[in-house]
A and B are shown apart, each in its own frame.
Chain A
């Protein structure tokens, strides 16, 4: 805000010489908070000279719902539906991130089948997140058709999630120590089918945009961020990889057996909008590869850990057996008891590093939960990305850094 004030002296109305040249008059404009081109409720106050953005300031907080404070008043299992609403485009990845942090804090081993299924659904959600991001970004720069091609295929995956998790968007699929339910018969075939559809969609869209002059001139050289700047802002995920740094938590700190899957980390060169879009396209391809490998080696067995501290007893125990019933009651009324301590754990979500810092005081509720959303650090660099460019470029840049307001403002 200070920079805007410097550029806009308060008493300039009484300084006629200031207006001698029209170019010196800056126009102030709010991009957002409620505008279709601002993805979510993001407000950007810009100072314009003609169409060039001289200075920009971002303001967030229009979608703040108090996730962290609410989590302090809920048991660990009850927080999971709240994590759905962080990045609502890839809800299951947030579920997995939170469940993984809590499990690491207790020291519970999850079953191999649960790991495999979590990898499969996470990668499917990563694909969906990238499809939505690319689709919306292409709409922003005027390529509407691609949006339908990508969204039609997303619909087919949502039909699978319907059957698998029982909900389309807010899945709440994981539980501490396991998953809400096992797969249904025919799950593998349907996933393999939808992967093929994703490949078709990616090919179709690439055919339309990859060698399209308008697309290239709208994206190449727009919204550039250097490697050093990206690192100092704390970028992670596709936006960091677009600058050429191959940092991926799945490779750096492998979890859930990611070290056993063969996949490559796509990196860009320049760190502009084009690189960010193309890195996402390539990540879709890599995720498809991971899902195929994971489906091939998906082991059988139970999905929930047999640790009595975290898992609800099976229903036949609850219905007829007094021990099971008491276990069930204690679990629900008191929550999962976690030994006092603090822990930070992160997963590679679709936008970057999604971390949860959990402080436990030994009761059933977390003492403090801090969520490290990948968007937050990326959005702090947004003024730097758009200053000096045109308004239309600012819109294209905003789409490519994939800001999800639910995650940004928690």
Chain B
């Protein structure tokens, strides 16, 4: 074992007043009282939220509930390449692909389901997507439903989610040009 710089933890002897425990009571009480007064006089800085009434705003980049992005005409941007379903460590994405009427797009997801009870919110699907179709920038961190089936969100629900910070969302890139009809 190497010689390293060590620091011994001291074991100090208590003096008479500390032995009686009377002095530490007052020292401790003065400290807690100081905290109490500080909190009462300035309630703003207390790290507490009235949760259901007041919700925390998540910073940009927070991995919240997923959403699917849209093309300019409102159709789904996803091309069903199955990258997100492959990379997902929790195997929570289920995609069924179908042929798109536009030959430049080729494929689109007929079914795009995410099981939110399986999802671990690691954000790998967002990293894996080669056409910026799935994002986790909705800022939604409360996920609730009354039935187990309702936690499986479908394509329409995912398309209707909004970005929390629309102005800072990544620019639209990687779209195949749509030929004019």
Interface residues of A (CB under 8 A from B): 74, 77-82, 84, 145, 149, 152, 155-156, 159, 162-163, 166-167, 170, 172, 180-181, 184, 204, 207-208, 211-214, 216, 220, 242, 245-248, 251-252, 263-269, 274-275, 278-279, 282, 286, 312, 315-316, 318-320, 325, 328-329, 332-333
Contacts and interface: CB of A to CB of B under 8 A. Distances in A.
B11 A172 contact: no
A269 B122 contact: no
Interface string B1-29: 11011111101101000110100100110
B31 A211 contact: no
Given A78-B124, A152-B47, A211 B11 contact: no
Given A152-B47, A214-B21, A207 B27 contact: yes
Contacts of A78: 87, 89, 124
B128 interface: yes
A203 B6 CA distance: 21
A75 to B, nearest CB: 8
Contacts of A213: 14, 18-19, 21, 24
Q: Which of B4, B9, B86, B124 is most buried by chain A, counting CB atoms within 10 A of its CB?
A: B9
Given A74-B89, A213-B21, A156 B6 contact: no
Contacts of A267: 6-9
Nearest to A172: B122
Contact of B2 (A212, A251, A325): A251
Contacts of B121: 167, 170
Given A207-B31, A208-B31, A170 B122 contact: yes
Interface stretch (B59-67, B95-103, B156-164): B59-67
Q: Which of A84, A166, A212, A318 is most buried by chain B, counting CB atoms within 10 A of its CB?
A: A166
A197 to B, nearest CB: 11
Nearest to B174: A319
Given A149-B35, A211-B14, A333-B86, A264 B24 contact: no
Nearest to B23: A211
Going nearest first, the 10 A-B pairs with the smallest beta carbon separation are A319-B174, A81-B122, A78-B89, A264-B7, A166-B63, A163-B59, A251-B4, A278-B9, A246-B6, A172-B122
Given A167-B63, A207-B31, A265 B4 contact: yes
Interface of B: 1-2, 4-9, 11-12, 14, 18-19, 21, 24, 27-28, 31-32, 35, 47, 58-63, 83, 86-87, 89-90, 120-124, 127-128, 130-132, 136, 173-174
Given A213-B21, A265-B7, A319-B130, 14 more contacts: A81-B122, A155-B47, A162-B59, A166-B136, A167-B62, A207-B31, A208-B32, A213-B18, A213-B24, A251-B4, A269-B9, A269-B11, A325-B130, A329-B130
Contact of A264 (B5, B14, B173): B5
A252 B8 contact: no
Nearest to B175: A319
Contact of A265 (B5, B89, B173): B5
B97 to A, nearest CB: 16
Nearest to A267: B6
A265 B6 contact: yes
A184 B62 CA distance: 12
Nearest to A242: B9
Contacts of B120: 81, 170
A275 B90 CA distance: 41
A216 to B, nearest CB: 7
Given A266-B7, A319-B130, A211 B83 contact: no
Contacts, number: 135
Contacts of B90: 81
Contact of B4 (A81, A170, A242, A246): A246
Contacts of A286: 7
Contact of B61 (A166, A216, A329): A166
B9 A279 contact: yes
A50 B101 CA distance: 80
Nearest to B87: A332
A319 B131 contact: yes
15 contacts: A81-B122, A82-B89, A145-B32, A170-B121, A172-B122, A180-B127, A212-B21, A251-B2, A251-B4, A265-B5, A267-B6, A269-B9, A269-B11, A319-B132, A319-B174
Contacts of B2: 251-252
Nearest to B18: A211
B122 A208 contact: no
A375 to B, nearest CB: 22
A162 B130 contact: no
B62 A162 contact: yes
Contact of A282 (B7, B11, B35, B61): B7
A319 B90 CA distance: 26
Contacts of A268: 8-9
Contact of B62 (A166, A208, A333): A166
A333 B5 CA distance: 48
A166 B123 contact: yes
A279 B136 CA distance: 41
Contacts of B61: 163, 166, 181, 184
Nearest to A324: B130
